A and B are shown apart, each in its own frame.
Chain A
C-alpha cells in the first residue's frame, strides 16, 4: 500500500531560520513526489516536484527538496524563513503505475517575527 507521512502537523520557526518539513513515503514502485502549499481559503499551489533525474529539486520561493531513496524521504527545506511562508504544506506521492495522488495530512508552518 502507498502512503505519505508528514512528521509534525505544526512547525514553528523564527523569521530567518531554517525551515525543515519532513515527508516520508512508502511505495512499491518508483514514486513521483510533490510538495504543495496551501494558503488560507485557497487551493493548492505546486512548490516543486521530483519525477526522474537529479534528486535535489529546486522549487519556487526558495524552497528545495531532496529525494533520498534509501530513506524513502522527500524533506522540504528553505534556508531562511520569511513571514509570507506561513501556510499549510502538503507532501504528495504519485505512482508510475496508477492515476492517484496520495497526500500527507499536511504541516502547518508558523513563522515567528
Chain B
C-alpha cells in the first residue's frame, strides 16, 4: 500500500510568489492534517481537514494561508505571496478514522523562499 505522498519534495519560490503543496493521503483515509516544521523546532499543527470540510484551522496563519481537501484529488496547502519566514518543511499526515487513530506522515515538502 502506498503511504502518504507529498509533492513536490522541494519547492523554491521567490518572495511574493504562490506556493502550492500537495498531499495524497493513504488510500481510504479521510482525515488529513498539515504541520509546519521550522529549523530547530518541533512540528506545529496547522490544520485538520476531512473530505470537503475544514475541522480545525486554529494553527493556520490568518492571512495568506489556506487549505482544502476536495471530494476528489489531493489535499492542497496554498501559501500566497510567500515571505522568507515561510521557509520550512511542511508535513502532511492522514488517518483512517478519528483524530486518535495513528497518523501516517508523508516525507514532507521543503519550501525555500528566496
Contacts and interface: CB of A to CB of B under 8 A. Distances in A.
- 7 closest A-B pairs by beta carbon, nearest first, are A43-B105, A103-B42, A99-B56, A44-B105, A103-B43, A105-B42, A100-B45
Contact of A44 (B59, B91, B99): B91
A43 B4 contact: yes
Contacts of B56: 98-100
Contact of B107 (A42, A98, A101): A42
A90 interface: yes
Interface string A1-33: 000101001000000000000000000000010
Interface of B: 3-4, 6, 33, 35, 40-45, 48, 55-56, 58-59, 91, 93, 99-100, 102-108
Given A4-B42, A46-B104, A99-B48, 7 more contacts: A9-B40, A43-B108, A44-B43, A44-B105, A45-B105, A90-B42, A103-B45
14 contacts: A4-B42, A36-B105, A41-B107, A41-B108, A43-B3, A43-B91, A43-B105, A46-B104, A98-B56, A100-B45, A100-B59, A101-B43, A103-B35, A105-B40
B42 A46 contact: no
A33 B43 CA distance: 15
Interface of A: 4, 6, 9, 32, 36, 41-46, 49, 51, 90, 92, 94, 98-106
Contacts of A51: 100
